[in-house]
Amino acid sequence: MKMLLEGNWVERDNKIEVTDPFDNSVIDTVPVASKDDVETALAAAVKGFEITKRMSVYDRAEVLYKTAEIISGRLDEFATVIAREGSKTINEARKEASRCVNTIKVAAEESKRILGETIPWDSFPGGEKRRGYYYRFPIGVVLAITPFNDPLNLVAHKLGPAIAAGNSVILKPATVTPLSAIKLVEALLEAGLPPLAIQLVTGYGAVIGDALVADERVRMISFTGGVEAGKHIARMAGIKKIRMELGSDSPVIVWKDADLELAVESCVSGSFWAAGQNCIGVQRLLVHKDIYDEFKTKFVARTNKYKIGDKMKEDTDMGPMITEIEAKRVEKWIAEAKKKGAAVLTGGGRQGALMEPTVLENVPKGATIHCDEVFGPTVNLYPIDDLDEAIKDANSLPYGLLAAIFTSSIDVAFKAAYELDCGGVMINDSTDYRLDSMPFGGVKYSGLGREGLKFSLQEMTEPKVVCFNLPDM
């Protein structure tokens, strides 16, 4: 496949092989962009903004509606690409493709709701003869940097609102999963998006990332990825808007009055969806001691039913991690936890990039697998007997994206909702639930700002005040 610069699909002699992590077969190649390509993209994006900022709301919405229609008509094609280049099974990939359609549609709808307000100038002495309002205008060139774990829908979460707002975009997709992003851009162009409105740059972040991030022509960076990369971007960016989603450790409290069957089923899925490579995947399960043994038995039994292997088979529950290097990292973290006293209740084995779904208990708080985001198919069990202490434990790490609690008590649910320090609390659901239109983001090291179409549009626009002084009134 090719990258998009100045409205043209271009190749380069130097290429990256995109491989299937299950069997390392080569799916396709993409160009390796140079710093000269970055300059081309930046200059073209500035020209593109002169076009996009003049597009009517109707035209922006129509492009997005038509894009959603195109993807909807090719769901199997998009799902196959998602599954082949990444970690998701074909069933998981179908869900992502369907979510992408919804994301693009909602972006189209929200483009019609970028509203301003009148301002009561006469609310302070001296303003009696003034009238006015504010409206929101597009911010300019948006740099979208996307991760591998949702290679289509997380791209849509950045491109959809950026286009809806009237911005131009430079897209840098994940090096290991660029094909889904390319197909989405193809669909946008087919739907009528002006070619200069979007630049798609493929290649290595270490080579082109700083040049993109630091350039003053970029007015906003929307980044989803790791904490260290986020810190580096923040240091390099200069004076521009930054929106970041940097991951989490997703604690779930299972209180003594919880529906056990619901909690087990939800949390097994939440722990191992996409081989655990999920920023809202369940990592810590804080289970009341009165039900701990029963929950543990049921949870391990359900985990043991998971079938791992070929992503393209309909009955596969979990595929490989994105690379064997990542699987080896998780294997190392498990070994370290065991050395420090943790017990592996099931799993822990690895074959290539395939990592078994792994459940641990007695994990010491100094173990890496407790302290850091695992981003792999492991989950830790901890017995608790006091709600205040459980909430304190849930809040103890430097992340705060989503948290969850299973309980039948409205009082317990409300207490958790208000005292858990995070961007969202799921009640009687695992942390692995996201409606694409909800405000999505976190606190502490989990990021800055919010995604979700309405909220992304707020981030990707600026308010402008218009005031009339009417001395003859």
3-class DSSP state for residue 300? helix
Residue 279 annotated as catalytic: yes
3-state secondary structure of 170: strand
The residues, any chain, with a CB within 8 Å of residue 351's CB and separated by 6 or more, are none
Closest C-alpha among 89, 419, 436, 366 to residue 251: 419
Of 85, 96, 110, 245, the catalytic one is 245
b/e map of 50-60 (b: 16 or more CB within 10 Å)?
Answer: eebeebeeebb
Give the residue among 52, 310, 305, 250 at the shortest CA–CA distance from 169.
52
Nearest to 95, CA basis, from 267, 244, 222, 278: 278
Annotated catalytic residue, options 279, 331, 361, 422 = 279
Transcribe 323-391 into DSSP letters.
Answer: -HHHHHHHHHHHHHHHHTT-EEEE---EETTEE--EEEES--TTSHHHHS---SSEEEEEEE--HHHHH
Phi then psi for residue 172, to 5 deg, are -115, 100
Two structure tokens written together for 55: 């597009």
Identity (one letter) of the amino acid at 367? Answer: A
- Are 80 and 93 contacting, i.e. CB atoms less than 8 angstroms apart? yes
Pure H helices in 112-217: 153-165, 179-190, 205-214
Q: Active-site residue 245, yes or no? A: yes
In the numeric block, which tokens belong to residue 302?
A: 């359900």
| Active-site residue set | 245, 279
